[in-house]
Structure 1
Amino acid sequence: MTNSKNVILTARDIVVEFDVRDRVLTAIRGVSLDLIEGEVLALVGESGSGKSVLTKTFTGMLEENGRVASGTIDYRGQDLTALKSHKEWANIRGSKIATIFQDPMTSLDPIKTIGSQITEVIEKHQGKSAKEAKELAVDYMEKVGIPEAEKRFDEYPFQYSGGMRQRIVIAIALACRPDVLICDEPTTALDVTIQAQIIDLLKSLQQEYHFTTIFITHDLGVVASIADKVAVMYAGEVVEYGTVEEIFYDPRHPYTWSLLSSLPQLADEKGELYSIPGTPPSLYTPVKGDAFALRSDYAMQIDFEEHPPIFKVSDTHWAKTWLLHENAPTVHKPSVIEDLHEKIRSKVGFAQIDF
């Protein structure tokens, strides 16, 4: 959290619950975050840690059985948790806060041409005429790297490759002229080469249009390449937050250590990777103590008894771990992530990390 004057979205103590077969699952447990104008915030963590659920609260897109049970989300002076209907969300979703999803086919209409889907958004959000909208649509297509954009304007999604469809989804998001762009694992389904192209595209567009970005991923290589700040999520809460340099060079939470230790580039001579033992706790029942304690080699007795508060490391860096308490024993991060930057740089073919 920060006191910057350029905070455009503030989430405080967000709790999200889902009704599942007569039981209540608490997917988000007291998350607080500040989103800084013009920055890229990466949300990282294992599947099921709550990354996508959290950002859905910013666009009112929780499933019908889900709800924000408590907390506030302030977007430029407006409390988003007070919005209930699709009509109330219409002025926020897309035009102010837009989302790029993992699978572009969930965002594209298979029976409408690519061009019509972009022009529809331009006419709605920018108030342009049909002629103006087409000119802008072709321009957006060219900006996201669609070759022969004017010729491909009247083609359908099935005529585009997966990487090209993702570029079109990005073009549609740009056409909304959003204030905040949420990228929900937009490269996961693509091969490594296309992933790198999409990341480079997003970086260049962010620099050109100056929108604020939330980037959801489990790929820490991508995080190092694109993020300014990083929020590490585990079992529905943020357990560590800092600048990208702080998270990579000076991580403090054992879960962050584990995530970094499992980077593919740190595989041993046999090609074997570190994997985090055990499974996350059930979120159907209250979590006692530190949610990561049962999977951590560094857990102390207090980790099983009391939930750790925020311990400040610097003005931009904090972590929820009792290891930062003044009375905790001194422990060091795993040797495999010592000198992490040099170890990754020494791996041939991995050039994404560039602080």
Structure 2
Amino acid sequence: MAKKTILSAENISVGFKVRSSELRAIRNVSLELKEQETLAIVGESGSGKSVLTKTFTGMLESNGAITGGTIRYQDKILSDLKKDSDWDGIRGKEIATIFQDPMTSLNPIKTIGSQISEVIIKHQKKSPKEAKQMAIDLMNRTGIPYAEKRYDDYPFQYSGGMRQRIVIAIALACRPKILICDEPTTALDVTIQAQILDLIRELQEEYKFTTIFITHDLGVVASIADRVAVMYAGQIVETGTVEDIYYNPQHPYTWSLLSSLPQLGNRGDQLYSVPGTPPSLYKDIKGDAFAPRSSYAMEIDFAEEPPMFQVSETHFAKTWLLDPRAPKSEKPEIIQNLHEKMVALLKAQAGGIEDVER
């Protein structure tokens, strides 16, 4: 049975007034989010990932605004909401966000437990006693040891990984339908990263929420996402299932991101990095925004913006290389047969772990 659409964005544009100029951070983006799926939004810093998802919770900075398009959440038009008070029934309660740095989300002079309880009292209308018990339960579920004793601790008494678990607990205290995870593991070491990703997956299965996962790390995407949207210069340039993006990528920018995976590098070789820099979003962009950085660019890429071509029922890419008139182009050698390479890599890693355990 096909999953229902819970949120959709149609031709969304976002601009920021900076002095006498306008920065066009999002340029005509369309996106659909299905119930209980995990959608990963990937791309370099500055590609518009966080700005796009801030429009879903009305959290754009004061100099930013939606300048075009429509955002629908269930039966509500979110793009029509203007005041903070209009968002009271949506932000946190229906759509919650976990940010990259937990210390920006936690009040340093309030105890951990009181911060979770406050949210439960506000959004679930529970008594202080009920809220405290529910908060302790959430702390247990998110892996906080001795939760009852640590309820009265302050944020500085928790490690980075534990603070991130508390931020997840606070987000879940609202019982949201959609959870936005904005690079929630970037500041953590690899072991803690894996624990947090596992925790989000387990909680999603238990609470049946939908997840938007923002990241620049394609390695993370493979382990957590159902579908992927690749963003560049304020646009979605490719979207598909994880299998579509990893094993049949079509846009040269996606090729570059995959080529940058450190797991594909050989010992002693220089790791691949995407050449050049992203374009200025203060200026009008002509053609394909990635063309100046791409060795696959054709004349038309510098003159006319490509449409979104359909590759399959689940897979779309915004590149002139998919036009029937375009010459055939082979993707970079490093990502050819990527499926086999990744399988071999996982086997080698598993073998290494076994050797250590022996």
**TM class, shorter-length:** over 0.9
Structure 1 position 338, deviation (Å): 1.4
The letter for the 2-side match of 1:167 is R
Letter in 2 for 1:146: I
Deviation, structure 1 residue 21: 1.7
Against the structure 1 CA distance between its residues 350 and 338, is the aligned structure 2 distance closer, same or farther, given a 3 Å change threshold? farther
- Give CA-to-partner distance per residue, 1:110-146, whole Å, 9 cap, x none: 0000000000001111111111111110110010000
CA contact 1:344–1:350 (8 Å) conserved in 2: no
Aligned match of 1:41: 39
Aligned to 1:202: 200
Q: What's the TM-score, normalizing by structure 2?
A: 0.95
Query: In the alignment, is residue 88 of structure 1 matched against residue 56 of structure 2?
Result: no
The answer to whether the aligner puts 1:222 opposite 2:253 as a matched pair is no
Using a 3 Å threshold, how does the CA distance of structure 1 residues 5 and 224 change in structure 2: closer, same or farther?
Answer: closer
Q: Deviations over 1:331-354 (max 9, x none)?
A: 111110112233234334489xxx
Contact 1:239 1:319 in 2 (8 A): yes
Alpha-carbon distance in structure 2 between the residues aligned to 1:344 and 1:132: 48
Structure 2 residues not aligned, in runs of 5+: 352-358
CA distance in 1, matches of 2:109, 2:44: 35
Q: Residue 186 of structure 2 corresponds to which residue in structure 1?
A: 188
Alignment partner, residue 248 of structure 1: 246
| Alignment partner of 2:48 out of 47, 50, 59 | 50
The residue type equivalent to 1:286 in the other structure is: D
Distance 1:272 1:56, change over 3 A: same
Rounded to whole Å, the distance in 2 between the matches of 1:337 and 1:91 is 45
Counterpart CA distance in 2 for 1:79 and 1:139 is 34
Q: Counterpart of 2:305?
A: 307
5+ residue gaps, structure 1: none
2:128 aligned with 1:130: yes
Which of 16, 19, 22 is 1:18 aligned to?
16
Partner of 1:314: helix, strand, or coil? coil
Separation in 2, partners of 1:309, 1:208:
39
What SS is found at the alignment partner of 1:165? helix
- Mapping of residues 170-185 of structure 1, within 5 Å: 170-185=168-183
Query: Could you report, residue by residue, the CA deviation over 1:86-112 in whole angstroms, capped at 9, with x for unpaired residues?
Result: 111111000000000000001000000
Are the counterparts in 2 of residues 16 and 27 from structure 1 also a CA contact under 8 Å? Answer: yes
Q: Is the 8 A contact 1:180 1:213 kept in 2?
A: yes
One-letter amino acid matched to 1:275: S
CA RMSD of aligned residues (A): 1.2
Distance in 2 (alpha carbons) for counterparts of 1:139 and 1:272: 48
8 Å CA contact 2:3, 2:35 repeated in 1: no
Q: Partner of 1:286: helix, strand, or coil? A: coil
Alpha-carbon deviations, 1:274-310, whole Å to 9, x = none?
0010001111111100000000010000000000001
Separation in 2 of the partners of 1:312 and 1:161? 46
Percent of aligned pairs with the same amino acid: 69
Q: What is the aligned counterpart of 1:334 among 332, 335, 344?
A: 332
Q: Do the aligned partners of 2:100 and 2:183 also contact (CA within 8 Å) in 1? A: yes
Change (3 A) 1:227 1:5: closer
CA distance in 2, matches of 1:271, 1:84: 52
Residue 163 (str. 1) matches residue 161 (str. 2) = yes
Shift of 1:271: 4.5
Q: Distance in 2 between matches of 1:297 and 1:67?
A: 35
